[in-house]
Amino acid sequence: GNSVTQMEGPVTLSEEAFLTINCTYTATGYPSLFWYVQYPGEGLQLLLKATKADDKGSNKGFEATYRKETTSFHLEKGSVQVSDSAVYFCALTQAGTALIFGKGTTLSVSS
């Protein structure tokens, strides 16, 4: 069945460092891919998405490119801030299946 694998955390960075959180997926066909973020005490929020191969999703300085050849959707940001500290979830969906999440990666940014 479909699945999402993302790098285990926690990821600890200093402010202004470069961030990469790896995400790979297994799916038949052509899923849509998402990154959700969960700030402390809040609900999951959609960060960005891509619905077809080679699409790049971007929001708040974060980017991820849908790579079909490597079945990946890695999350990147050039310069993280303390306010980016949160749990990040990679997810996929395709017609007829529910949204499937990875286990989440905790990011902690210090000043």
The dihedral of CA 66, 47, 75, 17: what is its sign?
A: positive
Residue 34 in tokens: 């998402």
Using CB under 8 A, which of 51, 53, 61, 111 touches other proteins? Answer: 51
Binds other proteins (CB under 8 A): choice among 1, 41, 69, 70? 41
Residue 98 binding other proteins, by CB under 8 A: yes
Alpha-carbon distance 84 to 37, whole Å? 9
Q: Are 15 and 82 in contact (CB under 8 A)?
A: yes
Does 7 interact with other proteins (rule: CB under 8 A)? Answer: no
Does 64 participate in binding other proteins (rule CB under 8 A)? no
- What is the binding site for other proteins (CB under 8 A)? 4, 31-32, 36, 41-46, 49, 51, 89, 91, 93-104
